[in-house]
């Protein structure tokens, strides 16, 4: 399964290095064969990660150049990074990234062969309009995206579930994932208030191939706990 930690704008460089080291030691200790990703803040990227896949939370569609405040391929390459998170709801809704801008980044990093974790998800007011409206909204977030790209992972993250402690019911997660799976064969993660004590049920849902976790993974013990949970599910299957 795929277990991913999005550290967002949290942890210093020193704390991130120690976080990744703890995760890697844990993976070794339990001989985990889960696919584990960590997305550190830009200033905390480091090139020492080996057992986890380190990804960028964002980058501009450029090798380098005059784009104040952005980083490009040249900066990612310094850390051996070949994985990027795109379309996250915080970038769409707080930082105002449009679908057109996201697709531009998608195509740029796809052409470089990057692994792309592409996020989709609906806000509460859309969810409240019912399943059909929700699916229509989600469909727009697939527009322009190559859903057959071999290095694509999709993450379904309802905006109203991110950082709120709220989650859809397990039945809803499963139903939505199965609908989204009709659009792409890519692995499909669930994200939005996943916690160490809810990961087991969520990971066991039909159509869920892994989780993308924010606040619930900030404490490294909780994140390791989720890796263990995924490992147990795989071992028992």
Q: Out of 88, 97, 122, 177, pick the active-site residue.
A: 88
- 157 catalytic? Reply is yes
Judged by DSSP in three states, 191 sits in: strand
Residue of 163, 170, 179, 204 that binds ligand 13P (CB under 6 A): 163
109, with CB counted inside 10 A (0-12, 13-18, 19+), is buried
Nearer CB in complex with ligand 13P: 29/93: 93
Nearer CB in complex with ligand 13P: 88/105: 88
Interaction residues for ligand 13P, span 52-111 (CB under 6 A): 88
- 70 catalytic? Reply is no
∠ CA 64-95-180, nearest 5°, is 95
* Candidates 72-80, 92-100, 145-153, 214-222; binding stretch for ligand 13P (CB under 6 A): 214-222
- Count of other CB atoms within 10 angstroms of residue 14: 9
102 vs 119: CA distance, rounded Å:
10
- Count of other CB atoms within 10 angstroms of residue 67: 11
Strand order in the sheet with 83-86: 53-54, 35-39, 2-6, 210-213, 187-191, 152-156, 115-120, 83-86
Residue of 97, 122, 157, 209 that binds ligand 13P (CB under 6 A): 157
* Candidates 21-29, 91-99, 155-163, 229-237; binding stretch for ligand 13P (CB under 6 A): 155-163
122 near ligand 13P, rule: CB under 6 A: no
Q: State in angstroms the smallest separation of the CB of 193 from ligand 13P.
A: 4
H or E stretch at 118: strand 115-120
211 near ligand 13P, rule: CB under 6 A: no
Residue of 1, 2, 3, 6 that binds ligand 13P (CB under 6 A): 6
- CA 167 and chain centroid, separation: 16
212 near ligand 13P, rule: CB under 6 A: yes
* Candidates 95-103, 136-144, 191-199, 223-231; binding stretch for ligand 13P (CB under 6 A): 191-199
**In sequence order, which residues have a C-beta less than 8 Å from that of residue 90 and are 6 or more positions away?**
8, 162
For the annotated catalytic residues, the residue numbers are 88, 157
Residues binding ligand 13P (CB under 6 A) = 6, 88, 157, 162-163, 191-194, 212-216
């Amino acid at each position: 399964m795929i277990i991913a930690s999005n550290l967002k704008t949290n942890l210093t460089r020193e704390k991130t290095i120690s976080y990744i080291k703890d995760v890697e030691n844990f993976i070794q200790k339990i001989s985990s064969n889960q696919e584990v990703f960590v997305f550190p803040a830009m200033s905390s990227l480091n090139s020492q990660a080996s057992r986890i896949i380190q990804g960028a939370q964002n980058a501009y569609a450029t090798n380098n150049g005059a784009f104040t405040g952005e980083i490009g391929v040249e900066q990612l390459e310094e850390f051996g990074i070949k994985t990027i998170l795109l379309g996250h709801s915080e970038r769409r809704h707080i930082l105002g990234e449009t679908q057109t801008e996201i697709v531009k980044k998608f195509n740029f990093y796809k052409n470089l062969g990057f692994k792309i974790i592409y996020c989709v998800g609906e806000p509460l007011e859309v969810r409240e309009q019912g399943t059909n409206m929700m699916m229509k909204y989600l469909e727009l977030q697939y527009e322009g995206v190559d859903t057959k790209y071999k290095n694509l992972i999709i993450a379904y993250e309802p905006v109203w579930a991110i950082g709120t402690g709220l989650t859809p019911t397990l039945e809803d997660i499963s139903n939505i994932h199965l609908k989204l799976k009709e659009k792409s064969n890519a692995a499909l993660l669930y994200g939005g208030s996943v916690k160490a004590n809810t990961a087991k049920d969520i990971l066991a849902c039909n159509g869920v191939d892994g989780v993308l976790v924010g606040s619930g993974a900030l404490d490294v013990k909780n994140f390791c706990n989720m890796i263990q949970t995924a490992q147990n599910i795989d071992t028992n299957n």
